[in-house]
Structure 1
Amino acid sequence: MKKSLVNLSMLMFLCTASVAVADNTGKMYFGAQYAISYFDESGLDEFNPTLFVARFGKYINDSVAIEARIGVGLEDDTVDISTIDYTLELDTLYGLYAVVNFPLGDALSAYGLIGFTEADATFSASGLSGSADDDGLSYGVGLNWGSDVALNLEYMEY
């Protein structure tokens, strides 16, 4: 979303986050992610809705993977401005990314990703609501800690 939607995410990989493996080519992985979003619209306070994101990827060589993500909103966020409640709910998120992994040790790796995301949201105030969708370039960085099952911290700009 073009209005500066940022996710700070914690992820639990459930399968292959291979850091120390010699060759990842052809390996698949998947994971679940809890994301706290930061949405900044000029003239309003910051909104912080949360998301559940499922991640699915496949390595095309030792360090590069193609990854798809599907997300759904968990909790909306409400901001009170001059006695009017404004609410933002992230409904869905879909994306496709190229991910480049950089091993930093036996069980630690950093990665960068870039791709395309589409997000749908609902905004409401004073009993009125409307939906909007947006798409565009997305990018981020993250750290994986673990090998077959990993914890993850990620910053993503949608």
Structure 2
Amino acid sequence: MSTSSVRSSFGGRSVVVPLIRCPLCTARVKFYVSNTEKHEGWVFYRCPVSDHFWHWELEYVGYLLDNHFLVGNEAVDALGTAEDKREELTRARNRRYAGGGAVDLPGFEDGRRSAGGGAAQISNQQAEALIGLANQILVMMKALVAALIVVAVLLGISMLKK
């Protein structure tokens, strides 16, 4: 039985990632490169028959590790390369968004099927409005603390006079 694989490279490192058979229908998994704005350049692996098996590259490598398709040095190299590639693609995406478009909110899943199902981005204008609101709240809290200090000092002075 022959096994297919794809060569994945990043930062001068090149590793072989096996293309396994789909665990549900036994079709050979294929790899694709995303061209969406949010995940431009990201590699994902899926069953060509249906979406019942679908993983981003890093999660696919994790699946291969968990199911012992990758072991030893191959496992370490594939995981390291996939993590480095994910970090670089995320930084590139964030640079694009910072240039005018949207801001990623921390804590949201990058995966295709996010837990909340909601949007993980806000526009730069919305982010600036939130920052402005936070600054106004901070100024009001400082004023409140200052007023409380003044009242405490006045109470202390009035008690000393009696």
TM-score norm. by structure 1 comes to 0.24
Flag the structure with more relative contact order, 1 or 2, with Cα contacts below 8 A and sequence separation at least 6: 1
Q: TM-score, normalised by structure 2?
A: 0.23
